Chain A
Amino acid sequence: DAKTTQPPSMDCAEGRAANLPCNHSTISGNEYVYWYRQIHSQGPQYIIHGLKNNETNEMASLIITEDRKSSTLILPHATLRDTAVYYCIVRVAISNFGNEKLTFGTGTRLTIIP
């Protein structure tokens, strides 16, 4: 799986959009970008994933650059409950129940400020 690079920490004002960057310059054509977050002392929570097109769901939007070497997770209206560690993971599509290892880095600690 390709290596990802994320800033160790970020702050965002409550109500503003939080934009979390991730670099994955060695990503392969068949690798997806997954985002998870982990609120203190809980298990990671799946947020969103994408291949090359921008994706949006009820939690967030994922913007992937055209060359796919970087991406940005956008939380449109951050709340205090969005304070968490956010992990960007790159791997081949999880399918056919083969080896489904997720490689977590150290992530970005996002703090939402009142």
Chain B
Amino acid sequence: DAGVTQSPTHLIKTRGQHVTLRCSPISGHKSVSWYQQVLGQGPQFIFQYYEKEERGRGNFPDRFSARQFPNYSSELNVNALLLGDSALYLCASRLQGVGYTFGSGTRLTVV
């Protein structure tokens, strides 16, 4: 079975640009969450979506946005990139009653 897939795996962007990261949850998983992990720290919660509705938002600026599609895949968008946005971005999906399954992440470098 395919796990949570994220694309791209790596990318480099310039300050001020925007970026779109994509996530495909495990088949049948309707809840998707996004996390940011900077080097040396634990993941920090950004968003959670269920049935295309935002169910939770972390302490991130409005430059960060997300959405979920009818097939339960999701996109994370970040506008006006800053050097501090360089991080590993993780997507996780869940089936009710069990723990989250995380993808391997997208490594974003802002230069």
Which residues of A line the B interface, CB within 8 A?
A: 34, 36, 41-46, 49, 85, 87, 94-95, 97-107
Please list the 6 inter-chain residue pairs (A to B) with the smallest Cβ-Cβ separation, ordered nearest first.
Answer: A43-B102, A104-B42, A46-B99, A99-B56, A97-B50, A101-B45
Is B64 an interface residue when CB atoms closer than 8 A count as contact? no
B101: A residues at CB distance < 8 A: 46
Number of contacting residues on B, CB 8 A? 31
A95: B residues at CB distance < 8 A: 96-97
B32 smallest CB distance to A (angstroms): 10
Partner of A102 from B30, B96, B100, B105 at Cβ < 8 Å: B100
Which residues of B line the A interface, CB within 8 A?
A: 4, 30-31, 33, 35, 40-45, 48, 50-51, 55-56, 58, 88, 90, 92, 94, 96-105
A101: B residues at CB distance < 8 A: 33, 45, 48, 56, 58
A98: B residues at CB distance < 8 A: 55-56
B50: A residues at CB distance < 8 A: 97
B45 adjacent to A102 (CB under 8 Å): yes
A104 adjacent to B55 (CB under 8 Å): no
Q: CA–CA, A103 to B100, complex, Å?
A: 13
B56 adjacent to A44 (CB under 8 Å): no
B104 adjacent to A43 (CB under 8 Å): yes
A36: B residues at CB distance < 8 A: 99-100
A106 adjacent to B4 (CB under 8 Å): no
Knowing A43-B90, A97-B30, A100-B31, the reply to whether A106 touches B41 (Cβ < 8 A) is yes
Partner of B43 from A49, A97, A100, A104 at Cβ < 8 Å: A104
A57 smallest CB distance to B (angstroms): 11
Knowing A97-B55, A100-B33, the reply to whether A105 touches B103 (Cβ < 8 A) is no
